[in-house]
C-alpha cells in the first residue's frame, strides 16, 4: 500500500528596519515592528488560520486516516505567541488529534549547520524544547532550514538521537534512484532519510494555479491518479512544501483549499494512505544508503545553498556574523537582549534577500540585493560593537573561555563569601539577643 507523507514548513523572520550608517552606536533596536506585525497578521488571515481548520477537517472527515507533519521555526512561534495566538491555538488543536507530528529544526531558521556545529546543536535543542513545551511532543525527526543536508550534518543529527531527517530528492545526488523509498545516511545508517518528491510537491506548491501549465487545472482525482500510477514497488511519496501554499502562494480563489480537502477521499479510492515521518520510519525498511558530500537544499533548479551564501555579499556577511559566535555563547544570562538579537540576525532570510540570481528572486523588503547587504551590515556592525563591549576584540577567541571561567569562579567565590558574611551577621545578632535575654532574666 502506498503512503503519502505530507510535511509543511512554517516560518516568518523578524525583518530589519532601515538602519543607516549613522545609527551605529546610537540605536540598538533593529526591527521593523509595523512590517513584521502586518505580515504575520496578513499571513494568518489569508493562510494559516484557514489552513489549520482545513487540516483538522481533513483528519476528522477521513476518520483519522489523514496525517500530516509540521516544522515551525522558533521565530515564527515567538510571533504567534505575541501577535496571532489563534494560529498557535489551531496547531494545538491539531496536536491533540494524534495525527500530527511536529519536527525539530533550528530555532532561528538559520544557516548555522554550514558554519558552526556548536551553535547549530544549541539551536536544535532550544527548538525541540519549545516544541515539547507548546505541543507536548518530543521531536524524533529533524528538518533543517530549507532542507539543507550533507553527510556532516547527518552525523551531528544522528549523534543528537534523532531517528530521521527530511532531505531534498536532488537529481544530482540520486542519479538513477527514485526519491520514493526510505534511505539512510551513509555516515550513520541509523539515521533514516525521507526524500522529497520534487515533481509532485511542486505541482501543488508552484504550478497549481498557473493557467499556462499543460496539466492545469490540477484536481485531487487527477493528482491521486498520478501517485497511484507510480511503480508498485515505490511505496512512499514525500510531499514537502511551505504551509503558505494554502491561501497565500496559491490564493483561496484558485481552489487550493477545496483541492486539499478532497485529497483523503480520492486517496482512499486508490488505496493510498497517509503517514507521519515517524510512522514511515517505523513501517518501511531502507533500500540503500545515501552519500551527500556537498550541501543540498530544496531551492531552485540546482538544489544547492548558493541562494544564501553564493555571492560575495552573502559570503562576507555570513563570515562576519559567525566570527563572533564564541563570544555570544559566553555572554552572561543577563544579556538577554544581545542573545535575542543574535537569534534574530541568524535567520536565513537576511542572506536570501542578498541573492543576485534572477531565478531565485522572491519577496524582499529591499529594492535590490545591495540595499539588503548595506542594511544588514550596518546592523551587524552595531551588534558586534555591543558584543565587543562585553568581551573586547583585543581578547583572542582561545583566551575567552578560560577568562570567563575565571571571572565566573571569582563571582561564585564572592557570592559564597557574601553568604558567609550574612550568616555570621545573623549568628551575631542571635548571640546578642540571647545575651540580652540572659541579662534581663538575672535582673
What positions carry a catalytic annotation?
146
Residues in the chain: 443
Alpha carbons 213 and 267: distance in angstroms, whole number: 23
DSSP class per residue in 374-411: HHHHHHHHHHHHHHHHHS-TTS-HHHHHHHHHHHHHHH
Q: Which residues 6+ apart lie within 8 Å of 229 measured at CB?
A: none
Count the neighbouring beta carbons within 10 Å of the beta carbon of residue 32. 16
Q: Up-side HSE of residue 215: CA atoms within 13 Å toward CB? A: 16
CB contact at 8 A, 107 and 66: no
The 10 Å CB-count burial string (b at 16+, else e) for 285-307 is eebeebebeebbbbbeebbbbbb
Alpha carbons 248 and 243: distance in angstroms, whole number: 9
Q: Which residues 6+ apart lie within 8 Å of 383 measured at CB?
A: 30, 338, 341, 342, 345
Cα 377–153–333 angle (5° rounding)? 55
Amino acid at each position: 500500500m502506498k503512503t503519502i507523507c505530507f510535511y509543511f514548513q512554517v516560518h516568518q523572520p523578524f525583518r530589519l528596519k532601515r538602519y543607516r550608517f549613522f545609527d551605529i552606536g546610537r540605536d540598538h533596536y533593529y526591527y521593523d515592528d509595523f512590517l513584521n506585525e502586518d505580515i504575520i497578521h496578513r499571513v494568518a488571515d489569508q493562510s494559516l488560520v484557514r489552513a489549520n481548520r482545513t487540516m483538522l477537517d481533513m483528519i476528522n472527515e477521513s476518520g483519522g486516516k489523514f496525517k500530516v507533519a509540521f516544522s515551525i521555526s522558533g521565530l515564527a512561534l515567538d510571533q504567534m505567541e505575541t501577535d496571532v495566538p489563534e494560529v498557535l491555538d489551531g496547531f494545538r488543536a491539531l496536536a491533540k488529534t494524534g495525527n500530527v507530528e511536529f519536527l525539530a529544526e533550528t530555532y532561528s531558521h538559520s544557516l548555522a549547520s554550514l558554519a558552526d556545529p556548536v551553535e547549530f546543536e544549541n539551536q536544535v535543542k532550544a527548538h525541540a524544547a519549545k516544541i515539547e513545551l507548546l505541543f507536548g511532543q518530543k521531536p524524533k525527526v529533524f528538518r533543517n532550514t530549507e532542507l539543507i543536508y550533507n553527510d556532516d550534518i547527518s552525523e551531528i543529527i544522528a549523534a543528537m538521537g534523532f531517528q530521521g531527517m527530511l532531505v531534498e530528492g536532488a537529481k544530482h545526488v540520486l542519479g538513477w534512484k527514485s526519491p520514493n523509498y526510505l534511505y539512510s545516511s551513509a555516515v550513520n545508517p541509523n539515521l533514516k532519510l525521507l526524500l522529497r518528491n520534487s515533481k509532485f510537491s511542486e505541482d501543488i506548491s508552484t504550478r497549481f494555479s498557473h493557467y499556462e501549465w499543460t496539466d492545469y487545472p490540477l484536481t485531487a482525482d487527477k493528482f491521486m491518479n498520478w501517485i497511484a500510477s507510480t511503480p508498485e514497488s515505490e511505496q512512499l511519496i514525500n510531499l514537502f512544501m511551505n504551509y503558505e501554499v494554502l491561501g497565500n502562494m496559491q490564493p483561496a480563489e484558485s481552489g487550493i483549499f477545496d483541492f486539499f480537502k478532497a485529497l483523503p477521499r480520492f486517496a482512499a479510492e486508490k488505496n493510498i494512505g497517509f503517514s507521519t515521518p515517524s510512522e514511515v520510519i517505523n513501517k518501511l525498511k531502507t533500500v540503500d544508503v545515501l552519500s551527500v558530500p556537498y550541501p543540498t537544499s530544496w531551492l531552485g533548479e540546482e538544489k544547492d545553498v548558493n541562494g544564501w551564501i553564493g555571492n560575495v555579499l552573502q559570503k562576507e556577511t555570513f563570515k562576519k556574523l559567525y566570527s563572533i559566535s564564541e563570544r555570544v555563547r559566553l555572554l552572561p544570562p543577563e544579556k538577554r537582549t544581545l542573545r535575542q538579537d543574535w537569534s534574530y540576525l541568524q535567520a536565513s532570510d537576511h542572506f536570501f534577500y542578498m541573492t543576485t540570481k534572477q531565478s531565485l528572486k522572491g519577496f524582499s523588503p529591499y529594492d535590490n540585493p545591495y540595499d539588503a547587504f548595506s542594511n544588514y551590515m550596518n546592523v551587524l556592525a552595531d551588534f558586534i560593537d555591543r558584543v565587543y563591549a562585553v568581551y573586547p576584540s583585543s581578547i583572542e577567541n582561545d583566551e575567552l573561555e578560560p577568562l570567563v571561567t575565571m571571572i565566573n569562579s571569582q563571582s561564585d567565590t564572592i557570592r559564597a563569601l557574601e553568604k558567609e558574611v550574612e550568616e555570621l551577621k545573623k549568628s551575631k545578632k542571635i548571640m546578642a539577643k540571647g545575651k540580652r535575654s540572659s541579662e534581663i532574666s538575672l535582673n
